[in-house]
Each structure stands twice: as C-alpha cells, then as structure tokens.
Amino acid sequence: MLIPCPLCGARDLREFTPKGAAVTLHRPDVGAGLDAWNDYLHLRDNPAGPTRELWWHGSGCGAWLVVERNTLTHEVSGARLAEEEAGA
Amino acid sequence: MRLASRGRIDRSVSLPFSFDGKLLTGHPGDTLASALLANDIRLMGRSFKYHRPRGVMTAGSEEPNALMEIGSGAAMVPNVRATVQELHEGLEAHSQNRWPSLSADLLACNDLLAPFLGAGFYYKTFMWPRSFWERLYEPAIRHAAGPGRLTTDPDPARHEKAFAHCDLLVIGAGPAGLMAALVAGEAGVDVILADESSEPGGRLLTEQERVGGKPAADWVAATLARLAQMDNVRIMSRTTVAGAYDGGVYAAHERVSEHLGARSKDLPLDCFWRIATRAAVLAAGAIERPIAFPDNDRPGIMMAGALRSYVNRYGVSPGRKAALFACNDDAHRTARDLQEAGMEIAGVIDPRSELPKGDYPVFSEARVVGTRGRHGLRQVQVQSASGTTSLAADVLAISGGWNPSLHLSCHMDGRPRWDETIEAFVPRPGAVPGLFAAGAANGVFDTSGCLSEGKRAAGEALATLGVAAPDWLLPEAENQAGSGKTLWLVEGRARAWLDFQNDVTAKDVKGAAQEGYDSVEYMKRYTTQGMAPDQGKSSNVNALAILADATGRSIAATGTTIYRPPYAPLPIGALGAGAQGKGFAPERFTPSHAACLARGAPMIEAGLWYRPSYFPAPGETTWRESCDREVRMVRSAVGICDVSTLGKIELQGPDVGLFLDFVYANGFSRLKPGRVRYGITLREDGHVMDDGTTARLSENHWVMTTTTAAAGQVMAHLEMVQQCFLPRARLRFTSTTDSWAQFAIAGPRALEVLNTVLDNPLRPEQFPFMACGAVRVGGVEARLFRISFSGEMAFELAVPTRVGASLWRLLLAQAEGFGGGPYGMEALNVLRIEKGLLTHAEMHGRTTAFDLGLQKMLSRKKDFIGRSASERPGLCDEGREQLVGLISRSREIGLPAGAHLFAPDAAPERINDQGYVTSSAWSPTLERHIALGFLRQGRARHGERLRLVDHLRGVDVACDVCDPVFFDPEGGRMR
Ligand SMILES: [Zn+2]
C-alpha cells in the first residue's frame, strides 16, 4: 500500500503509523463536559467504505496526514496535511 | 538422452554435478531437470502421500513432481523444482520424500493401503480417542508428512532485499510481455520487465516459429537488444513476480547468484524486491492443462509443451519413442517437432474426429485408457472405435489445452471469469487495479495475437498514466491458435491423478461431491486438491470440471477457488533478508560504549540502546557487590553516568512556552531563561505518558528531555500536537538525542569534579539547583544542567557527541581522584528508588498523575493534553491504587517487582488483592530491602503492615508501607 504524502510523494505503507479516525482533529473545548469528551475519546464509527484517518509519516518527513481510505477496497484516494485541516 | 543438435545449450562445456551421490554432467543452459533427462534419469521423486514414483511433468515453475534438495549441510535448500534450477558446476542434488532410496522407497507401501487412505481419511480416522492424538497419530503423521526436509542449522546464505519504482511493470517476457515493454519503452515511461526464466523470451525460445520473418529466438534477441538501448527499460531475468498488493506494490524474487557454480562473495544468493509501479501488464503466459486418465503418473508422461521445451530449448529427449495424447491442434506440433528431432512417434491419440495429418500413426476418436511401466513408462493402451491397442512408448506427451496464468489477478480477492469460447478461466479486468492482462495470460494463445495483445495492454496502461502509445507495426507471426475441445478425464478402473503433489485422484473429487462437499471450497479442503506448494497450478481446473460434472453444474456455476501470494514458493530467508542475527534490530551505542566495555561492564538493552549494568571492581564477584559500592560511592563521593540515551528535543521560536503549556500538565511559559523545570505529560485519556525536564536556554530556545524509553513516542506526540492542534504556533523543533553526549556527575563532590573540566570553574551559588547555561569544556561549547536523578548534588554536562568519548575519559579520571568513578544502570535504579523517582515501571500507561501523587502538578489555569480526562471522577478517586514505598520486615527477603500486596491476615488470592510492586532494590543507604508499588488508598496507609506474596518466585514476606521517598525527603542534599 502506498500513501501519497503531500510533502514526499507516494511512499510505502511501512514509513507510516496509523493513529485512528481523523475526528481526533476536532478536540472539544476544555469545558465541553464529560459527554463530549467521552464521545471524542472513546466512540468511533466503524465504516465499511470511505473513511478518514490520521497517519504519521514518522519514517519520512514527520508530517501528520489526513488520509482518505476505503476500508472495503484498501484504495487510498488522497492525503492532505493535518496542519492544513487543523488551521482551516 | 542428449540430442545431437538443437537447444540453447553450450555443448562445448561440460558441467559436472551430482544427483543422489551419482556424478553426472550437463551443459550451460541446462536446468537440473533437462540435465537429468539427458542422463536418462526419469525417476525424479516420490509423491507425498503414496510415495508413487514420479518423473518430471513440466518444464516450468508449475512443476509438481521433480522437487529436489539442493546443496548440503546448512546451505541445503529443500523442495527446489528441478525445472527452474539452472545447472551449474558442482551442483549437488538429492531426491526427497523417499527412504531409503528413490528406487526402493519403503513408504511406497502406503500405495498398497490406498483404498483406505483416500480423501478425508485423516478426518475420519484420527477422530478419537482424543489422547491418541499427541502420543500416536500426530508423531506418526508428522514423520511421514511434508515433502523435503529442513536443515536445523542457521542459514549461511546472504539474502538481500530491495525496492524498485517504475511506471509500468511488465510481468513475463514472452511475446506479449516483450511487445508491451517495447511499446511502453518507446513511449518513454520507466519500465521494469520481469521474467522468471534464465532467459527472456518465454515460449518463443521453445517453439519452432518465425516472428517478423526470422526464427522466433532471433526476434527475441533483436528485441532484447533494442530494449537494452532504452535507458528507461530495465530487464530483470530470473525474477519471479510473486504477489500483487494494494497501491501497485508487487513482490518479486530475483535469483542473483543461485545459478552460479563459483559464487562471488560480493553477490547475494537472491534478492526480495518490492516493486512499486503505477501500472502493470500481466503477460505471464499460460500453463498447459493435463488430461486425467488411468495410471497417468508414470515417469515419462509429461506435458506436450514441456516435451517441446526439452527437445527444442534444451536439446534432450526424455525417451526414444513417443506417443501424444491431446485434444487440440496446437499439441500436434509436438509430434512434428519430435519427428524432426529424430524421435520415433508411436502414435498420436486424439478424441476428436477431424485431425491434422502427420507422417505417423494417428488415432482419431481415441483415448489413452491405461499405461504400463513400474519406474517409467513402457506401454500406452489406446482405445478407439476400432478397439484397444497397446503402443510401445517410453514418452507420452499430454495436452488438454491451456490455462491462462492469471494467478496474480486473484491476489486482491478478484475471481476469474469462465470464458465459454475458449473454455478456460480468464482474468477479470480490474481485479487488481492498474493491472492489464495480455496474451496467453488473457486467453489469447497464438503468437500473433500475443504480440498484438502486448501492444494493446501497454496502450491501456499508458493511457492510465496519461501517456500516448506510439504507433507500432506488429511483426508477422503465426496466427493459428488451432481448434480444440476439452477432455478432462478418461474413466477407468485404475486411479487417474489430478493433483500430483498432494496425490489427489479424480475419484477423490467425485467422492467429495458424493459426501456433500460439493462447493469448490469444501472440495478443496476435503481432498487437499490445490493445497500443495504448487497451489494446483496444473490441476485445479481439471478438478473443478470433474466436480462440476459430478454435481451436474456448469463450470461457471461451480466457480473456482482463488490463488494467493506467493505465485511460486519463496525462500523465507529472502523474505527476512537483513533481519538475521544482529540485523533483527539496530543497536544504539552511547559515546562511552567502548570505554564501558573496556572496563568489563556487562551491557543491558534499554530499547535499542546498550547501557552498562555495573562496573565490576577487582575482587567483586556479584553484580550486587558492584552495585552497592557504586551507590555508596555516589552518596559519599561522586559518580559519573552516561545519560546520553535520554531523549533530547530542541525547540525554538516565540511560541515554545505556549506550546509546552499545552503539552505538559504543569506550566512552563513562565519559566525563566537559565532555569530547568520538571514536568509530566499526559495522554489525552488522562493517564501519564512520560516525565522529564525542560530547560530554557534563552528566551526562544528550549531543550526538552524525555525518558530513554519514550523518546520516540514523545517526539511523535509533539509533532501531532503542533500539527493537529496548534498549527499556527510559531515554533520548530527537532530531535537532537544523537547530537549530544550527556553525562551525569552526581555526589557531594560533583562540583569539584566538574570544576576540573570547565574552562571557567563555577561557585555553587552561581549555579543553583535547577539552573542551566552554556559553559566551555576544553574550548568546546557545552551545556550544563543542575538536575538530579539520584538525590545528590548533581550536574548533567552535555557536549557534542564527537567529543563525548574524550570527556567521559576525562571525567572518570578526575572523579577517581575524588574517590569516585563510573556507575551503571543498577546503581542508577537503586539511587532513584531510594528517592522515590519515577520510571516507566511506575508510569506504565495505566497510572494517572493522581495515582503517582503528582496531582498538584495538574494546572487549573490552562488547557493541556489530557486535562479534561484527568478530571474524570474515576481517575482521581481516593479508592484507586496510589504510589507508596514499601520496606521489607526481613533483612534477607526482598520485595520482587510483580509481587502483590494483601492484608496480613488475608489469603493471597486475587479477590483480596490490595496492590502490587513495580520497582525493587536492596538499599545500601538504608540497609533494607525497599520497593515502590501501588496500593489501594495507599497515601492514607503509611505505617501499615502488609503481606507481600509473589506466587511465581515463591516469596511471602511482611512489609511496611511508607512514603515513596525513602531518603532525604526534604531534598537538602541535592540543593
Ligand atoms: Zn512525508
């Protein structure tokens, strides 16, 4: 499997570490309450189909990426810098 | 028998080799199989289950019978197919799966038991009694099972692994593959042309054909020469593409020097490739389909195309008089080629009525119904409209048509499609994204068709790359695929073999259907059809057809099992290349490594690092003696310890303080330049991740240290926090762990030792506890931190790694002048336990700041990673297990880590469990066995007596609960 790092180009899977669903980017405020935090920390969808995940290019440039991937076909349809999404 | 002419072998050179100890010769260009045939050796192996005598059946990697052990001793490789093993001088081959010898195999008695050993025998027989399994059934089955033996010695061969990248991978260099490579090469894209044979060309090297007006082999040579001139085309011979994976990644195995007699030390035996490509053309050709008939497994019976290979490519004949049993026109050229090569043709047997003519006996509407010959074919029985005749023949060539080599198209779960017009499975387009099948692999069998298929597939692949295919005039070539019909099985009383490797017969398949195993997946598992190392390359389709017939369904409705990687067996050594021995994990050495070894320090692993356990002094015989001395030395004089392994991360920028406030649970932004602070980081789930100190060297320049163990994890975490949560913060950071050698100088005389190496000595009040700053050591810029992990006055002095080893020697020499010396990990651990300082034994991932007694560090003034979760009531509940100190009531019995704590009168059972020990030491300072551990409501229980039990080590001892800081709780010594 190859992941198209926006900084490095298409790179082998083994240069990356997955970090779960990209909802991690949407961190609740400190006062959001226990329910919001419980949801953020523990509750995840388990999609059969397209999904958005955080991957770390640890053996490459060190960028955190939002990777779009299909869990049924393993097709990777795109990746962008988490930084861009978080800063948007 | 070697033919006088023909073949791509060099008759002027003789290569000596041995088979089962017998000295033989062959020629360059031979495979082991062709060389054995040239020496009139036809019996090449015994079958796996019934130990039937078997000869070579094919000339390619699909070979089910001729499996050999190659080499001897530790370098022996079992299950090598003689058909792909190139002959070289000194090759040592042994037959396998026979005892005591190939011609007299005692386990052949299994064959007499065959009526009882049919498919499903194991399932039905070895059911009960259960206790018989381990003692009787399994050892007996294991003894008789498995083709080949493995050596138990370490693999002495050098394997290699490598990556390759290209725009187009062409798999197979027959007519379709060569044409695809030509077109794509001309289009200018990067091409890899991989072919598993010793020479590219595929069947063009074998068949008596003309391409572009010249002999096919000449066209191959001209094409290869043309490809060799294209810088963008790389030809990889002896390279089997073995698997197709996600994202255009293919696995391939290249035999680099395995085929050479005199091997250079500079060359690996083989190389495992990962090829990442944007598109691929599958031009793997086709595998000839057998016809099953009674007694079809005698040595001398082989595939028609294989026989043509032996005659035309290798210049050998497996016998003197040949018969042909086929149901398609294509196979009839076998008889013509053999006759041309001077062999006698006993007859051509074909079930069809309209047949090509030939200058030999032709039996139309005929079948082979039986064979004779114990260790090799002697006679073929033919049944035709005119009755039954016996033909004397020592070779029988078989062809039931061709099965496209579509295996790779199944590797991503794609199922092939049954094509009614050619009565064969063909690859389903798109089954592997970016893979385009061409030529025989796509069900087009004539040479002209293959050439145009190669051009078409290359064009389609180029289109996906956005590149236009160049105009290309195809050379003229043979364009008659010929007609044919299918014939799967000739019924008879004797067994008709399908899967030669697993000894599966047509009757077994029918039996499976009768017993209700009528789905193809059930049939496969019940009979083991296709489950041998050859994955049923030759036999699966016949088995399916027989199953379809037995269940009254069409083949399309019956479906097929699919193929998995690897396409052909791969050596495990190649898959694990580079990971043997020390290659398993990298080793990280500290700047003092060589000096520590020179002092006789035993090294222990800390992650990938190697660190000294202790430094034995003359007369010391146990680690405890050395450790106790080193602890007393630090407490009374001074000790030096290499702490370069601590993770060091340098941060720069105006927003570092803000960033650290968010990373650490406690505040950092108000730390003054020249000061160091201890901090803890949490995971977002509220548990402690790591601890360490961060120094502010100047307004915008900070250095963070992490524990040795968590350095990588913390670095990844910082990257995430910055990029995902604080993308606008103005800072940059990088790991500098390997750039700095850092030494702890600890003990009452630490400052004195330090001042001997500093260019400008310090007075104590100049550099108070938790200060940091730049200093110079012998003219070298260095960093000094006054921090302590031992509870003594201590400094950590950091210099660039290149001068680390010198500074270590210097510090040691100076320390020894003050009654000090080096100390190792054991002493370091005792010193920190005496002070109740934490490591990952305590921060083990399930403990919170509250559990560790650090709850006061959790800032309430800011948000930080883990804050919200750390405030969950459950994570700071008074009933949780809290960090405590423990002191053994016994002078002799220690408190081992992993032991559990119980009330003095409670039974030591899980239900009464009160806590556990995480770190344990003999304290030379207190002269007591002490430990750190976690105890329910522990902070409120100081002074209580407990029972400590370690069921594993058989320890049961009383201990007292106390504060985790055993020594100098006010911290006066380090200040
Ligand atoms: Zn990258």
**Where does the pLDDT of residue B132 fall: very low under 50, low under 70, confident under 90, or very high at 90 and above?**
low
Number of domains present in the structure of chain A: 1
Given A17, A29, A86, which is nearest B725 (Cβ)? Answer: A86
Chain B residue closest in CA terms to A58: B716
What kind of architecture, by CATH, is found in domain B639-831?
A: 2-Layer Sandwich (3.30)
Q: Give the range of the structural domain holding residue A48, as residue numbers without chain letter.
A: 2-87
Who among B163, B247, B725 is closest to A1 (CB)? B247
pLDDT value of position B374: 83
Residue B264: its pLDDT value, please?
82
Distance of CA B464 to the CA centre of its chain: 31
Q: What are phi and psi of B69, to 5 degrees?
A: -95, 125
A-B contacts at Cβ under 8 angstroms: 72
Whether B831 contacts B919, CB under 8 Å: no
Between the alpha carbon of residue B21 and those of residues B33, B45, B890, the distances in Å are: 16, 15, 70
Residue B628 confidence (pLDDT) above 80: yes
Domain borders along chain B are 15-106, 159-286+404-464, 639-831, 877-975
For B142-153, b where at least 16 C-beta lie within 10 A, e where not — what string?
Answer: eeeeebbeebee
pLDDT value, residue B148: 75
Looking at residues B629-640, what average pLDDT do you find?
98
- Could you tell me whether strands B301-303 and B395-399 are parallel, antiparallel, or unpaired per DSSP bridges? parallel
B110 or B230, greater pLDDT: B230
Residue B114 — very low, low, confident or very high, per pLDDT cuts 50/70/90?
Answer: low
pLDDT at residue number B53: 87
Mean pLDDT in chain B? 93
**Cβ contact B247–A86 (<8 Å):** no
CA distance B260 to B196: 16
Q: What is the dihedral of CA B22, B27, B30, B35, to 10 degrees?
A: -30
Residue B599 confidence (pLDDT) above 60: yes
B113 confidence band (pLDDT: 50, 70, 90) = low
Residues from chain B that touch A56, judged by Cβ atoms under 8 A, are 716, 719-720
Distance from CA of A3 to the nearest CA of B (A): 8
Task: List b or e across B936-947, with b for residues whose CB sees 16 or more CB atoms inside 10 angstroms.
Answer: bebbebeebebb
Q: How confident is residue B123, by pLDDT bands cut at 50, 70 and 90?
A: low
Q: Are B696 and B706 in contact (CB under 8 A)?
A: no
Tokens, residue B432: 């592997």
- For the cut 70, the answer to whether the pLDDT of residue B750 exceeds it is yes
Band the pLDDT of B125: cuts 50, 70, 90. low
Whether pLDDT at B682 is above 90: yes
- What band does A86 get if pLDDT is binned at 50, 70 and 90? confident
Q: For residue B723, list chain A residues with Cβ-Cβ distance below 8 A.
A: 63-64, 81-83, 86
B352/B472: higher pLDDT: B352
Q: Which amino acid is at A71?
A: T
Summarize pLDDT for B276-308 with one digit per residue, the tens.
999 999 999 999 999 999 999 999 999 999 999
CA end-to-end span of chain B, whole Å? Answer: 93
Check: CB of residue B25 under 8 Å from CB of residue B12.
Answer: no
Query: In degrees rounded to 5, what are phi and psi of residue B815?
Result: -60, -40
Residue B560 binned pLDDT confidence (cut-offs 50, 70, 90): confident
Report the C-alpha gap between B400 and B303 in whole angstroms.
Answer: 9
Cα–Cα distance for residue pair B475/B473, rounded to 1 Å:
6
- At residue B479 the predicted structure's pLDDT band, cuts being 50, 70 and 90, is confident
The span from the CA of B719 to the CA of B698, in Å, is 22
pLDDT beyond 70 at B127: no
* pLDDT above 90: residue B134: no
Alpha-carbon span B791 to B975, nearest angstrom: 9
Sort out which chain A residues have CB atoms less than 8 A from B872's CB and list them. 34, 37
Which class is domain B159-286+404-464?
A: alpha beta
Q: B15-106: what fold? A: Ubiquitin-like (UB roll) (3.10.20)
CA-to-CA separations, B527 to B2, B504, B512, B515, B547, in angstroms, rounded: 39, 7, 7, 11, 12
- Cβ-defined contact of A2 to B248 (cutoff 8 Å): yes
The CATH class given to the B877-975 domain equals mainly beta
Question: What distance in Å separates the CA atoms of residue B211 and residue B248, rounded to the nearest whole number?
Answer: 33
How many other C-beta atoms lie within 10 A of the C-beta of residue B135? 9
**Residue type, position A82, single letter:** A
For the cut 90, the answer to whether the pLDDT of residue B141 exceeds it is no
Residue linked to tokens 């050379």: B475
Which whole number is the average pLDDT over B229-248? 96
In 3D space, the residue among B254, B90, B291 whose CA is nearest the CA of residue B162 turns out to be B254
Burial of B910 (0-12, 13-18, 19+ CB in 10 A): exposed
Please tell me the total number of residues recorded for chain B in this structure.
Answer: 975
Residue at token pair 């009374």: B636
Contact residues, chain A, for B867 at CB < 8 Å: 30
Query: Interface pTM (ipTM) of the complex?
Result: 0.98
Place B480 in a pLDDT band, splitting at 50, 70 and 90.
confident
**DSSP letter, residue B310:** I
